[in-house]
A and B are shown apart, each in its own frame.
Chain A
Amino acid sequence: MAPLNAIEVRNLRRIYRTTIGVIRRRVKEVVAVDDISFDVAPGELFGLLGPNGAGKTTMVKMLTTLLIPSAGTARVLGFDVVDQADPIRPRIGFIFGGERGLYWRLSAIDNLRYFASLYHVEPEIARKRIPYLLELVRLDGRGQEKVEGYSRGMKQRLHVARTLLHDPELLFLDEPTIGLDPIGARELRQVIRNLQSEKKTILLTTHYMFEADALCERIAVIDHGRIVALDTPEGLKRHVRDLSVIELEVYGIPPELLDVLRALEVVEAVTVENRDQKQAVLVQSPGGSEAVPEILAALSGLRVGKVIVREPTLEDAYVRLVGGEVEP
């Protein structure tokens, strides 16, 4: 009988222990994943969203049998990730973002051939599947070239082809679009959509809000190793439904002025994005456009350009949940 959930995580915890010092060695503990529980249904595209260091990659490593949890349990396709790793491995595929993890001195086709044999793909199936996958990730015609000559985006697309070689039921995509140019990232997102339409279960980690919003059916927002919210993208946006976002274009805002803004009663949260020579100050406020005069008054003396009042996005919900600065 097929398991009810593709992934079941219960009170999962992972602590890393490192030693500091040579003579007087001290053990330092870092809790990367702290008592996390969630389920992913078969065929669902589930997102783990969080800032760098939130625990997303640690979670993926535990679910892909590459890291043993410190506590709690996790079942993938009905099998325990620690005691039953063998039946899990042929049925899952995974990607860790970035360029590494390929044999750079081999061609793309040789890389895929080797991984096909590691996943026990029959030679006749591999012979048909490799050209198909290279076409899927738009590397057809480049398969004979050595990977070391590929751009970052090409390498990441080759990772996608590699992970699909054995036609896995469940995919773990850990920041697959990180470092890609906008066109490359958009193409990769289209590949992910196509996989979703093939009813594959996908766990996607990202810190790009729009990516999670565009792709995921449900999102767990994770911060400091804990889930701070788990909902659909629309559900998450409801966290900030009572707020408006006031975007102010400024030129060189001093940090103390941000503190002045944060102290205002009409202000819920303030973040700054760098946009070329300018900055955008994003103020979350329950007051909407009525709060603008008070905010402008607090910024008196500062050159302010365009002012826009808009509905909150998933990114704004994320800022409220995580409470940190957003990368420009």
Chain B
Amino acid sequence: MRSVTLNIRLFFQGALLSYVALFRWLSPMTYLASKVLMPLAQILFFSFLGMYATGQANASFYVIGNAIQLAAVSGIFGVTMSIGGDRWEGTLPYLFGTPANRMAMFVGRAFFHVLDGMVGVVLALMWGVLLLGLDLSHANPLALGLTILVATFSTSGMGLLLGCISLITLNVMFINNTVYFSLLVFSGANVPLSTLPAWMQSVAWALPLTRSIAAARQIIAGGSLAEVAPLLWMEVLIGAIYILAGYFLFRWFERQAKLRGTLDIF
């Protein structure tokens, strides 16, 4: 029981401090701008491009797709930097020398980014309502909130995996950017999945966000939670698989670093 309490405390303390450590260099105004202006730019760019190509009536397709896809900003960039930061700070030997539960230490890093990502998605949807006439009147707020939570959870799972890769690669931003921009296409945020080649569709269903975006579109069109439940459960499973893959990669990295003496080199 005591160890459970200690691990829960480690989870939340690590979650809060790693989040604070990552964003403290930003002034509140800079942080706010990153939360407000960057989503605005993405939504305007893809929505107007999409409307130009397919017509005004499809605005909501692009607004919803990009708003949910923006969960990846916190889920991928935030979480990856939170884990990769230990490499730059030189704290890895000190972390690996502690008796701390690795799962609590590792997964805790993603917690506040899930919440942060949800705020980002809500702000993006607000831009859609204010500037592009997105109609949320048919949406079940609870179902939509749950969908946003599941989307940020699954992208944070992918962020944890990429964070571990950042421990062993030299240029994590290259990987992050590649994955982020791939999600713009593969997740169905900007292109209907049915128009993609078969192999791309197969990849799309193995990625986070694909099901969340599909679920969000159904909910905003008036669908019920029960109708999208299978999509959301699968999205949770996808997120959990990425978390587990990241965790095992994290343990593998720890073992390899001790075997090869590369804890300070990577």
Contact = CB atoms under 8 A, between A and B. Distances in A.
A103 B89 contact: yes
A66 B17 contact: no
B97 A65 contact: yes
Interface in B226-251: none
Contacts of A17: 260
B53 to A, nearest CB: 43
Chain B's interface size range is 20 to 34
B90 A101 contact: yes
A110 B105 CA distance: 16
Contacts of A66: 93, 96-97, 258, 263
Interface string B185-198: 00000000000000
Nearest to B17: A114
B99 interface: yes
B106 to A, nearest CB: 12
A105 interface: yes
Contact of A117 (B14, B20, B21): B14
Interface string A79-122: 00000001001101010101011111110001001110111100
B9 interface: yes
A92 B97 CA distance: 9
B97 A64 contact: yes
Contacts of A113: 13, 17
B94 interface: yes
B177 interface: no
A94 B95 CA distance: 11
A146 B99 CA distance: 26
Given A92-B97, A101-B89, A146-B24, 17 more contacts: A61-B261, A65-B258, A66-B96, A67-B258, A67-B261, A67-B263, A94-B97, A96-B93, A100-B89, A100-B90, A101-B90, A101-B94, A106-B24, A110-B17, A117-B10, A117-B14, A120-B100
Interface of B: 3, 6, 9-10, 13-14, 17, 20-22, 24-25, 89-91, 93-100, 105, 258-261, 263
25 contacts: A14-B261, A64-B97, A65-B258, A67-B258, A68-B258, A89-B97, A96-B93, A98-B90, A101-B89, A101-B93, A101-B94, A102-B91, A103-B21, A105-B20, A105-B25, A106-B20, A106-B24, A113-B13, A114-B13, A114-B14, A115-B94, A117-B9, A117-B13, A118-B14, A120-B99
